[in-house]
Structure 1
Amino acid sequence: MKKQRLLLLGFFLASFQFLIAQGSPDYNGGLKIKFDEDGKKYLRLISWAQVQATYNNDAPATSSKTSFNLRRARVLMFSQITDKFLLLTHFGLNSLNAGSLSPTGKGEGSQLFLHAAWAQYNLGKNHAIGGGLHYFNGISRLNNQSTLNMMTLDNNRQSWATIGLSDQFARHVGIFMKGKFGKLQYRVAVNDAIINGLDARPAVSGQAVYGGANLLGTKEAGKTFAGYFEYNLLDQESNFLPYKVGTYLGGKKVFNIGAGFFLHPKGTVKIESGNTVGEDVSIFAIDAFYDAPLGDDGSALTAYATYQSNDYGENYLYSAYGTGNMVYTHIGYVFAGDKTKTRFQPYASYGSNSYDATSNNRNILGLGINAYMSGHNSKLTLEYKNQDFGTSTSAVTLQAMIYL
């Protein structure tokens, strides 16, 4: 165990030195191909990768306690031919590891897949409509989280409240509208629910399963409705794309208060008096986000908190998701220092989930530190995470990330 911990620490230090040499202080918005002189016709490309090494003291006896994982490898492209239209495409893979690798790279876990593809039409300066496989989600800021600039190692899993249950990897096929009225930003969507979702359990009595679109048909259970609304009290955040920033590292002074919802009529089903009946899924949340510099010395504070009410139907419990309530918060502090050099940000996160189906709460504590060599474009994250849900499990993960 001691040798494995030393190996992980050594990998952290070696990666740190490598990334200092490979930082990109002159990123300047990345790769943008302009097709006219004023830049209204363009193609924008973003690529990123997140590689992890994890030490898990609770791994099975037959498994190595140290493992490696390509957490994300993605490419995102969007383009405009005029300022009225936008087309976005996003593809990549997730969590490629020893268990999902295939001998010739043709297995299901080794394949790139379409994360998103939507077309958007701008209704003037502040409003737009669009459709396709999109990420304009409801509920909370974290359900719209960008994976490029998270403060914690990864997003709070329970905040992606419908992933694989009604959607494809947190994206729905449907139509959306987004925009702002002064300081109030909004996004609303009407979508088709996935038919072959992750929860493929048969309907039973006394406990709902997420299979309404499959077991009742799309006429009864085929549509979902979502929305998120936030008031920008200080600096105004961009809503050009749906992805919410995790931490600005003091680059903005932001204080937002938000509220959102997700509704799926008859999204779950159960057996009642021998018949399969549908139950409505309703999820509501309120949240607050604060990010601001603490002076002229480069120090900054990031803080977030949310309360989420989850109703998936009677005694629903599947993976991390269940009927009940969730509270979650995280806070991080960027130490004072030269913004052109490596900056450090320790952070802490805590989430507690209660479920109607069990007396046990799922409590998750995270403690970590980010080392920013070139902002989010080149960074290392080291995090300890402990989860208590009847039994306690813990892991230490080091992640190296670069995006261009």
Structure 2
Amino acid sequence: MRKLLLTAGLLLSALTFGQGSPDYGGGLKVNINEDGSKYFRVISWAQFWAQHNSDRPLDANGNEQSDTQFNLRRARVLMYAQINKNFMILTHFGLNSLNADNMSPTGTKDASQLFFHDVWAQYSLGKDHAIGGGLHYWNGISRLNNQSTLNIMTLDNQRQTWATLGLSDQFARHMGVYLKGALYKFQYRISINDAVTTNLQTGLPVNGGAANYSGRRLLGSKDAGKTYAGYFEYGFLEDESNFLPYKVGSYVGTKKVFNVGAGFFVHPKGSVVADAIGNLSGEDVKILAVDAFYDVPLGANGAALTAYALYQNNDYGKDFTLGTTYETGSMLYAHVGYVLPLKTTAKIQPYLSYNNRQIDVLNDNATQFGLGTNLYLSGHNAKLTLEYQSLKYATSDAVNTLTLQAMIYL
């Protein structure tokens, strides 16, 4: 029975990382004893972009930039290992968005350096539940805030759904403890974490002005040091694996899934406001979301449908904005993709995405539209993606971008 449960877990994890691939199988998995109860698995992937944008700002020296630029969007290595069914450790490292502007002659600047995305250890609490801790990705809020970067259906994740990235965490990972598991068709993940002290927000709040996401830095870790998150979902069709935290973007016709979910993120006194004479006080950061994911094959000819919808309410504090990425307000997001029925091992999946954000302090909206196509040469393991995206932020002119991505993972 023990071997049967272990084998089932390994098959689920293999399916999680091999959607739509006819020849990937279980990947680079190495058994270190005869029955396979002790093993490690290594996953490596890279995503390369060629991107055209005629609205690029001037560079740091005031010069015009080329309309077309190249970008190593992600280069990652992930390894996890079990010494038995009760203990697991996962390590994930790599770099992101390396390009000619942030490379250095000897590869020593920050953008060129590898860093840990995840390092966590886990202990099983029976067949369907586990507790763990470390630098982890067992996030709250929504499916997209737990998205795997190996199998996103669109070119990339919708940026505002990684709603705490760089504000309370390190690249969407928190340092803390988590509890995860399943009860029949219901899955859950909850966590308690430390917020980072140094984040993307700098400076001090303006007297009588908007909130500043600097609670831990300005108020201290006792008052503003902890965050709390959770995501809960119910699956009406086939079960999804929660062996690892990374949510699948599209199964490319290999699974029938219909899930509805809800999640939260709370950071007490995470933001700070200053009154008219400069006295500081904390404001709670609260992000809530509900979403639905539908992914099914259509008939026996290879066609498949993927659809996702999300409503997210963001409260980062009074009139909060940071760049064009984070705002106190609300958001609606949806995407849909269709795998064409072709008599070939390759698959084509055109898709649409749409996002509308309501921004409190501007009393205005941001809208984003995407139109793209995936060419799956071997499922998500080898694919090309071409996407046109248009972003209009409040009263600014729309920014239009065309990106071609080449991706492979083993």
Q: Which runs of 5+ in 1 are unaligned?
A: 1-22
**Which of 99, 119, 122 matches 1:120?**
122
The CA deviation at 1:191 is 0.1
> Displaced runs of 4+ in structure 1, greater than 3 A?
none
- The residue type equivalent to 1:69 in the other structure is N
- The residue type equivalent to 1:245 in the other structure is V
- Superposed counterparts of 1:138-287, under 5 Å: 138-204=140-206, 205-273=208-276, 274-287=278-291
- The residue type equivalent to 2:303 in the other structure is S
Change (3 A) 1:25 1:253: closer
**Which of 361, 377, 381 matches 1:357?**
361
The CA deviation at 1:25 is 4.4
- Superposed counterparts of 1:39-188, under 5 Å: 39-60=36-57, 62-188=64-190
- The residue type equivalent to 1:398 in the other structure is L
The CA deviation at 1:58 is 1.0
Contact 2:303–2:341 (8 Å) recurs in 1: yes
Render the CA deviation track for 1:91-133: whole Å, top value 9, x for unaligned: 0000000111001111111000010100000000000000000
**Which of 312, 320, 331 matches 1:326?**
331
Aligned partners of 1:286, 1:396: CA distance in 2, in Å? 30
Aligned partners of 1:201, 1:351: CA distance in 2, in Å? 30
Q: Which residue is equivalent to 1:380?
A: 384
Aligned partners of 1:402, 1:342: CA distance in 2, in Å? 14
Aligned partners of 2:154, 2:400: CA distance in 1, in Å? 16
Q: Which residue is equivalent to 1:16?
A: none
Q: Structure 2 length normalisation: TM-score?
A: 0.92
The CA deviation at 1:65 is 0.1
- Superposed counterparts of 1:282-293, under 5 Å: 282-293=286-297
**Which of 395, 398, 405 matches 1:399?**
405
Identity over aligned residues, as a percent? 61
- Partner of 1:81, secondary structure, is strand
Q: Which residue is equivalent to 1:296?
A: 300
Q: Which residue is equivalent to 2:29?
A: 32
- The residue type equivalent to 2:408 in the other structure is I
- The residue type equivalent to 2:197 in the other structure is I
- Partner of 1:115, secondary structure, is strand
- Superposed counterparts of 1:308-319, under 5 Å: 308-319=312-323
Change (3 A) 1:201 1:360: farther
- The residue type equivalent to 1:189 in the other structure is S
Please report the RMSD computed on the Cα atoms of aligned residues, expressed in angstroms.
Answer: 1.1
Q: Structure 1 length normalisation: TM-score?
A: 0.93
Render the CA deviation track for 1:181-235: whole Å, top value 9, x for unaligned: 1100000000000000111131222200110000000000000000000000100
- The residue type equivalent to 1:56 in the other structure is N
The CA deviation at 1:30 is 1.1
Aligned partners of 2:360, 2:136: CA distance in 1, in Å? 31
Aligned partners of 2:186, 2:199: CA distance in 1, in Å? 34
Q: Which runs of 5+ in 2 are unaligned?
A: 1-19, 59-63
The CA deviation at 1:29 is 1.8
Aligned partners of 1:207, 1:174: CA distance in 2, in Å? 29
Contact 2:189–2:231 (8 Å) recurs in 1: yes
- The residue type equivalent to 1:362 in the other structure is A
Count of aligned positions: 381
Aligned partners of 2:169, 2:56: CA distance in 1, in Å? 30
The CA deviation at 1:24 is 7.6
The CA deviation at 1:360 is 2.6
